[in-house]
Amino acid sequence: MEDLDRQVRLAAFDFLREQSERYGDVLPRAVLAQGFVFGDVRVPLVGPQGIFKPAVLRSGIPLSITTVPVVAGRARPYEDEVGPDGLLRYRYRGVDPRHHENEGLRRAMATNTPLVYFHGIERGHYLPQWPAFIVGDDPGALTFTVAMDEPQALREDLTTDAVEGVRRLYVTRLARHRLHQVAFRQRVLRAYRETCALCRLRHRELLDAAHILPDTHPRGEPVVPNGLALCKLHHSAFDANIIGVRPDLVVEVRDDVLREVDGPMLEHGLQSMHGGRLLVLPRAAAERPDPDLLAERYELFRAAG
């Protein structure tokens, strides 16, 4: 790999670390499109197409690949998926295997060059994951196989150690799980207008996306109707079955907690919720809590009491 190419990639990874510390897991597309300055050259990290190589790179190998976010009512131009081996499949640019962008990813595979994979979470917001490696090519299916690795596994020369195959499979599985959880949180908080459904707290850093049925449950999918935007106190209370929500959206507090005498936090933060209704709901009916999921979760709350 040319030394310039290596330096630009290392600078890109450092830039993403810095921006993740500033913005959190999900980065605005405007920040990625603006990029960083390398020497006296501006280096964007994304472009109008999913496979992107900034002009500063001379090797012909892209810097990033992108999956666009889901937009309600609009089909994606392509669908990426997970293969039976547990690794990611990334669609070719177009249907010509010899398109220069597809050839660029083949060069990335041949040289084991790390990329950044940007996953679209919502319009204008992306979760970056790196390093991503092209480890397979299927012209018949028009897809590349992508494996993730740990950033700390990269050396300064952008090589990794000999156990990368086993580790990359494990890291890819973790990356997929993180992607689902980050996307779930982003969509639930957006649907609830970044407000706790129980107490109307609006500080995003203090809000979580709570699963009505946990993700270990067969019906516990990471979709908005299986979610509630809750502050960290009420999320913990909900998960611990101290607070329950009936299918008619009435809130109940467990009997033993109602009888406790403690301080103002217990009285105003928990006990006062009993008998009230959820204060904030998504505006779109399709995003509101699923009554069937609430009913099943409410039975768990009753059993805990």
Could you read off the pLDDT of 127-168 as tens digits, one per residue? 999 999 999 999 999 999 999 999 998 899 888 876 677 899
Report DSSP state, residue 228.
E
pTM score, whole prediction: 0.80
**Beta bridge partners of residue 228, listed in sequence order:** 210
Decide which of 242 and 218 is more confident.
242
Residues 50, 92: Cα–Cα separation, whole Å: 9
**Which residue did the predictor score with more confidence, 78 or 14?**
14
Express each pLDDT in 54-102 by its tens digit: 999 988 999 999 998 865 445 444 445 788 888 999 999 999 999 999 9
Res. 51: pLDDT tops 70: yes
pLDDT bucket at 276, cuts 50 / 70 / 90: very high
Rounded to a whole number, what is the distance in angstroms from the first to the last CA of the chain?
A: 62
CA-to-CA distance for 78 and 92, rounded, in angstroms?
A: 9
Reduced to 3 states, what is the DSSP secondary structure of residue 74? strand
> pLDDT digits over 107-124, tens only?
999 999 999 999 999 889
Q: Is the pLDDT of residue 176 over 60?
A: yes
Give the DSSP H/E element, type plus range, for residue 32: helix 29-34
CA-CA distance, 301 to 109, in Å (whole number)? 51
Going from the C-alpha of 157 to that of each of 38, 75, 113, 202, the distances in angstroms are 18, 40, 10, 45
Mean pLDDT, range 25-31, rounded to an integer: 95
Q: What b/e sequence results for 160-172 when a residue is b if at least 16 CB atoms lie within 10 Å of its CB, and e otherwise?
A: beeebeebbeebb
Cβ-contact 208, 235 below 8 angstroms: yes
Q: Which is it for strands 207-211 and 227-231: parallel, antiparallel or unpaired? A: antiparallel
The 10 Å Cβ neighbour count of residue 30 is 9
User: What's the rounded mean pLDDT across residues 161-190?
Assistant: 88
In angstroms, the CA 119 to CA 32 distance is 12
Tens of pLDDT, residues 220-241: 888 899 999 999 999 999 999 9
Q: Among 188, 186, 194, 244, which residue's Cα sits nearest to residue 69?
A: 186
